[in-house]
Structure 1
Amino acid sequence: MKHQRLIFEDDFRVAFEAHRVQAAEMTIAPGDREGGPDNRHRGADQWLFVVAGEGEAIVEGRQQPLAAGSLLLIERGERHEIRNTGAKPLRTVNFYSPPAYDAQGEPLPAGED
């Protein structure tokens, strides 16, 4: 068993990984964004669950509103950006399969975990 309490204090923090799936938390301040037109995970699918806040995902040019309870799948290789469009922090839990980041939050090359 692995357990960790998510604190949502950092912009991005890897919680842990097991069986080729990685969990991370992300907090985006009001008016800020993560990613961008060239951001993509070449080797991993990303499942993003919105815990709190409001925002917008732009995936391959398509816009998707986000709110607490939203679940979004960004498939490997899809270009994406996540924007906070609300007045409070946008807090998400993200799962990457296979892992996309090392323990310090730096991207792994495609195919490495």
Structure 2
Amino acid sequence: MKKKTLRFGKGFRVAFDVRRAQAAEMVLAPGDSEGGPDNRHRGADQWLYVVSGTGAAIVDGRRVPLKAGVLPVIEKGERHEIRNTGRTLLKTLNVYYPPAFDADGNPVGPGRKR
């Protein structure tokens, strides 16, 4: 069993992974965004649980509102961007299946960004 206490510091940070899945934490300041119109994971689905804050996920051109408790799933290959549209930090817990990043946050394996 693996266990980690999440800190939700600034930016994107891989928490840990196991053979077939990976957890990461992401914190965006008001007005910040991550990803973009060409960002996608070719081989990994991304489950993005909103811990706190408000924002929007733009997935294949469709805007999905984000707030605490929401759990969108960005399927492999979908182009996406996450934006903080609120006045406080947007904190998310991201689960990738299969793992998409190395410990430094660089894309790896079948889930790598293209």
TM-score, length of structure 1 as denominator length: 0.95
Summarize the Cα distance change of 1:39–1:103 in structure 2 as closer, same or farther, 3 Å threshold: same
Alignment of 1:1-113 (within 5 A): 1-110=1-110
Q: Which runs of 5+ in 1 are unaligned?
A: none
CA contact (8 A) 2:98 2:110 kept: no
CA RMSD between the two structures: 1.2
Partners of 2:47 and 2:29 lie apart in 1 by 20
Deviations 1:6-31 (A, max 9, x none): 10113000011113100000000000
Residue 111 of structure 1 and its aligned partner are, at CA, apart by 5.8
Give the paired residue count: 112
* Superposed structure 1 runs of 4+ greater than 3 Å apart: none
TM-score, length of structure 2 as denominator length: 0.94
Identity of aligned residues (%): 64
Residue 63 of structure 1 and its aligned partner are, at CA, apart by 0.5
Q: Counterpart of 2:67 in structure 1: which amino acid?
A: A
